[in-house]
Structure 1
Amino acid sequence: MTTTRRTLLRGTAATAVTAVTAAGASPAGAVESGTPATRADSPLPPGPRIGILLYDGYSLLDPTGPAEVLSRLPGAEVVMIAERRGPVRTDTGDVRVMAERSIGEVDRLDVLLVPGAGNRGTVAAMGNQALLTWIRAVHRHSRWTTSVCTGSLILAAAGLLDGRRATTYWASAPYLESTFDVTYVPERYVRSGKIITAAGVSAGIDMSLYLASLIAGETTARAIQLAVEYDPRPPFDSGDAATADPRLKTLALQLLADSQI
């Protein structure tokens, strides 16, 4: 039999379950045999339909980090959406991600996620009335509306953050508060009702794990975190803007600006 990543992982999981059972304990989440949940031919319950908006100039990890987490939810469907179907380029222009649906084809989602972008992409999206109208329409029926990085500016431009607490990319916080009726909170993610905003780029992974716990429970969210081995131990202690040296902040923004088109 040809060995694939899937068969290898399945074999590893089966070995782990066998070891637990042999020790006289039931694997976590197990149910009595014969119940519908243990039947191999039982369909998975319908999971959440998750839509991630793409637009020209988004930051690559903003949509793909959350997609990696949320696509592991049982029964979940994750779809990339843009104004038009097709490849959508990132802020650096080096990578394109395929949008499988257009905004005209999607009007209901359980979860909407709006990523952030560089200045060019964010400003263009904030002024794109077709996108803002679609975001408002989908938000009316969503279970959760979320953003990553400067995606919160786009939610604010759509009028969804009025009077709310939210977070965003650290360098965009003054603009968020001075331009909109929003209270900036310097946290990795902030929940306000059914809206969850995440701070810059990598914070989207943290937010997605929190969202996974709200949708499927903490045990499932913890298992997803282990499945993707999200155990960050960066080589430098420089990721917190609140404690960063001003010169490092200047260099960080310059590197972003230089890498974007």
Structure 2
Amino acid sequence: MTQPLQIGLVVFPEMTQLDATGPLQVFAGIPFFAPDPGAEVHLLWKDLEPVSTDAIMTITPTKTFAQSPPLDVICVPGGPGVDALLGDSEVIDFVRSQGSGARWVTSVCTGALVLGAAGLLDGYRAATHWAAMGMLDAFGAVPTDERVVIDGNRVTGGGVTAGVDFALTLVAELVDRATAEAIQLRIEYNPAPPFAAGSPATAPAEVVEDYRERTAAYQARRIAAVARAAAARPTP
């Protein structure tokens, strides 16, 4: 029997919970459908106190950064709290350290900005939330408007709901396609969205414009945080 895969999801205050819980639900199926190698999934943060999310619920870490084993997969989700992470040396150092030895370096949504700040996306094609796509350039990444992007051992997912697609894609790489398909069936992932508003390319123009107006101040703060992080990132 081989050693179980070590999968670590970084959790943090004001994260978007679905960025983490979508992939978590997928990864949790690996031991059921593929007991060899199986998987141990860790929710990682500086301490073990519950962290807030942007959707009321809290998430309790299972291990601290110091307790984390060497990871086969490191995954950074996104959310409003990413802005603070970009200037947090403890987080950036942990992501850089684990990412340097992991088999797969991954993110969902704006978690890609954290990978970039850790110097892990230089020259790599990467996806992120559509509203942050233009920020990847600051970290030497190649913005790619796809649901899931694999470039070498970097796997990045687009915004929020793309986390499920990302995780299923990664399971096919970690184990095999049959396991990924069995997990997809288990969670009945058979999307049929009621509206075509999930992308600025298909959403009504007035919806896109309203969204941009409502998030303008937030976007300005993030652009500033990205600029500071880009200036501080390690040279490849």
Sort the TM-score into its range (normalised by shorter chain): 0.7 to 0.9
Q: Once the two structures are aligned, what percentage of the paired residues are identical?
A: 37
- Write the deviation string for residues 15-73 of structure 1: whole angstroms up to 9, x where unpaired: xxxxxxxxxxxxxxxxxxxxxxxxxxxxx653311110011111010000000001111
Picking from 116, 124, 144, the partner of 2:78 is 116
SS at match of 1:238: coil
Instruction: Provide the rounded CA distance (Å) in 2 between the counterparts of 1:140 and 1:176.
Output: 20
Structure 2, unaligned stretches of length 5 or more?
Answer: 218-236
SS at match of 2:50: strand
Instruction: State the match for 1:135 in structure 2.
Output: 95
Instruction: State the match for 2:10 in structure 1.
Output: 53
> TM-score, normalising length from structure 2?
0.84
Instruction: Provide the rounded CA distance (Å) in 1 between the counterparts of 2:60 and 2:102.
Output: 23
Instruction: State the match for 1:79 in structure 2.
Output: 42
SS at match of 1:145: strand
SS at match of 2:66: helix
SS at match of 1:85: coil
- Count residues with an aligned counterpart: 211
Residue 122 of structure 1 deviates from its aligned partner by 1.3
| Closer/same/farther in 2, CA of residues 184 and 91 from structure 1, 3 Å limit | same
Picking from 159, 163, 186, the partner of 2:119 is 159
| Closer/same/farther in 2, CA of residues 208 and 187 from structure 1, 3 Å limit | same
Instruction: Provide the rounded CA distance (Å) in 2 between the counterparts of 1:186 and 1:138.
Output: 26
Picking from 162, 169, 172, the partner of 1:203 is 162
| Alignment check: 8 A CA contact 2:124 2:154 kept | no
| Alignment check: 8 A CA contact 1:115 1:150 kept | yes
| Alignment check: 8 A CA contact 2:6 2:69 kept | no
Picking from 195, 200, 224, the partner of 1:236 is 195
Instruction: State the match for 1:70 in structure 2.
Output: 27
* 1:130 partner letter: E
Q: Which has the larger radius of gyration?
A: 1
What is the 5 A alignment of 1:168-187? 168-177=128-137, 179-187=138-146
| Closer/same/farther in 2, CA of residues 59 and 111 from structure 1, 3 Å limit | same
| Closer/same/farther in 2, CA of residues 255 and 63 from structure 1, 3 Å limit | farther
Instruction: Provide the rounded CA distance (Å) in 2 between the counterparts of 1:111 and 1:226.
Output: 23
SS at match of 1:86: coil
Displaced runs of 4 or more, over 6 A? 254-258
Instruction: State the match for 2:171 in structure 1.
Output: 212
> TM-score, normalising length from structure 1?
0.76
| Alignment check: 8 A CA contact 1:143 1:194 kept | yes
* 1:108 partner letter: P
RMSD over aligned Cα atoms: 1.8
